[in-house]
Amino acid sequence: MFNLFRRKPASVTPDSILQQILCATPKATSMAPKDSRGVYGLVDHLGDLRYIGSTRSAAETFYKRIHQRHRTGSETTSHYFSRMYNTGRMWRLRNDPATKADGDIAKKLRNAFIAEHCRAVWVPLSDELDIAGLEAAVIELAPKEVVAWNRRGMEAYEEPVDLVDHVIDQLKFSTVERAALDRQRARFGGSAEVFVAPVAPSRPRMQRFPEGPFRFVTLDVETANNDRSSICQIGVACVRPNNSIETWVTYIDPQTSRWVFTGLHGISAATVNGSPTIAEVLPILEKGLRGLTVYQHSGFDRSAVRAACTALSRPEPEWNWQDSVAVARRAWPELRGNGGHGLASLKRHLGLSFEHHDAGEDARAAAEVVLQAEGLRASISADILADEEDFDVIERPDAPETPPKSKIGSNPAGTSAAASPQGKELVGFSVITNGNLNNNHFYLREVWTAFPEDCIGGANMASAAPCSLTVLWGSGNHVITDLDGKKKLFRKRGWVRGFFTENNAQEGDRVAIHRVNLTTFEVSVLKM
């Protein structure tokens, strides 16, 4: 049919497309073509055609739009299957951290239910045609009941209990998972109106930003259009010392009438009505992210923040930006040319669960990418190291690199300041506390004067020392870092978690610190 339309585009009319949609045999969403685009219809679990849409974007196929977006997307008006079946045990409240675990199970059930019991039809069209215009004309011709979802003439369905029970059995959900679904059904019973109202629900202007301490954060933005200053949503995932993640997200009113990307992320002018402006949000973020490493997944997010600041004639926040794409490339080089290192590819490769193009979800996914990269230290050829100040990738050389010349502090052991390269000099010990184990660090107070003064910096990266130390920590691993002069510990400390794990460190054990040469030190764990 695609080739026929290319040969005879004049024969394609809105009426002919509608007739094909009405007469087509509904098929499973997974069968939607991956290599063509055009006009399509969505069929509910009762077998009724309820929605007509099109693949407006040249990069979007039937499969991507129907099976991946309508079925698995968020519960917005642009992802119709997800919205209409956000009900009963399949219900979830988007971006609610308190119910996220239960909500993820409900969403898994909903995705499977739609794949099993809902259908779609499609009419492939040539890219030479005005597909968006044809879609609009077809909708005007269609019977009211066929486009009920388009016109928001229907509320979310009541849960088809028997069909849902069947899917739950197919998925072999555990007792714990079934209990989570029952909790979601109870929650839905008390707040169903949120998702069936014809207008967006009212929202508080802004969540309170989480209080630290944090090891690092990840930040993601969504924009209304191609102007990067048109930020309409910001999400920040805050990673605590125990690696738990707390997500902060807010809609933002970009004060624009151009909404080009609504079909991508589901955010519209109605969505952000009453939300704060970027001018109101930036001071909150400046305070909350001060002194932290801020990861973005690619360079888009920083450029958007910079563009927004330029539009406001204000300076860009002085954050320590890092790129989680670079982290992923080092950690999973096998993805180069095989899906790449974008979040969608990493979602498949790492088994992540999130909704792409939601700022809060994308920020959380980027944080999980960094955390998983950290966990690969023992199995990849590069050490992935992270801490609250920096995230670095250190190659493993055959021998420590030659350190820079530096001044030497006093030697508490009373021995020669420069040990023989063939030997090691014990400079002292650090006793491991429970707080050390929980926060991935150990104090150097008792051996502080053993370190070169040029390697001692201030409390953050902005006041980093001019010279660095090389720290050897076992199995050929090392890290290059300076010293935090306020906390009296190694500034980079993501590696410490691996160091403790490798040595089965316990509270009361001691870390022995040896000096190998002027700026090279070795650490090891001595058991109680």
In a shared domain, residues 192 and 230 = no
> Is 266 a member of any domain?
yes
Surface-to-core class of residue 112, CB atoms within 10 Å of its CB (0-12 exposed, 13-18 middle, 19+ buried): middle
8 pLDDT more than 50:
no
- Domain endpoint, select from 163, 196, 229: 196
- Taking only the tens place, the pLDDT of each residue in 372-401 is 877 654 333 333 333 333 333 222 223 333
> Is 329 a member of any domain?
yes
Strands 49-54 vs 231-239: parallel, antiparallel or unpaired: unpaired
CA separation for the pair 413, 427 (Å, rounded): 6
127 pLDDT more than 60:
yes
CATH number for the domain including 403?
Answer: 2.40.330.10
Q: From its phi and psi, is residue 38 left (phi > 0), alpha (psi between -120 and 50) or beta?
A: left
Surface-to-core class of residue 451, CB atoms within 10 Å of its CB (0-12 exposed, 13-18 middle, 19+ buried): buried
CA separation for the pair 343, 366 (Å, rounded): 7
- pTM of this prediction? 0.39
CA separation for the pair 238, 212 (Å, rounded): 8
CA separation for the pair 66, 430 (Å, rounded): 59
CA separation for the pair 100, 82 (Å, rounded): 16
Alpha helices (H) along 402-456: 434-439
In a shared domain, residues 128 and 249 = no
| Position 293, amino acid | T
- Taking only the tens place, the pLDDT of each residue in 427-469 is 899 999 988 888 888 999 989 988 888 788 888 776 777 777 8
323 pLDDT more than 90:
no
- CA dist list (Å): 485 to 400, 406, 449, 458, 465: 24, 17, 11, 5, 9
CATH number for the domain including 312?
Answer: 3.30.420.10
CA separation for the pair 390, 491 (Å, rounded): 9
- The number of distinct structural domains making up the chain is 3
Confidence of residue 351 (pLDDT cuts 50, 70, 90): low
- Taking only the tens place, the pLDDT of each residue in 293-322 is 999 987 889 999 999 999 999 999 989 999
Question: Tokens 């001044």 belong to which residue?
Answer: 407
In a shared domain, residues 224 and 327 = yes
CA separation for the pair 429, 506 (Å, rounded): 15
Which of 120, 116, 208 is CA-nearest to residue 166? Answer: 116
In a shared domain, residues 183 and 235 = no
DSSP code at position 401: P
User: CB of 360 within 8 A of CB of 95?
Assistant: yes
CA separation for the pair 226, 370 (Å, rounded): 28
Angle, helices 324-331 vs 359-374, to 10°: value is 40
95: helix, strand or coil: coil
In a shared domain, residues 235 and 272 = yes
In a shared domain, residues 406 and 349 = no
- Taking only the tens place, the pLDDT of each residue in 270-288 is 888 888 999 999 999 999 9
Question: In the predicted model, what is the mean pLDDT of residues 75-95?
Answer: 86
**Which stretches of 81-215 are assigned E, i.e. beta strand?**
119-125
CA separation for the pair 302, 356 (Å, rounded): 18
511 has which bridge partners?
Answer: 430, 525
> Is 391 a member of any domain?
no
Would you state the structure tokens that stand for residue 199, as one six-digit string? 């207008």
Alpha helices (H) along 224-299: 262-265, 278-288
> Is 379 a member of any domain?
no
Would you state the structure tokens that stand for residue 499, as one six-digit string? 């160091």
DSSP code at position 79: S
- CA dist list (Å): 293 to 215, 238, 388: 8, 10, 6
Residue 60: which domain range?
2-196
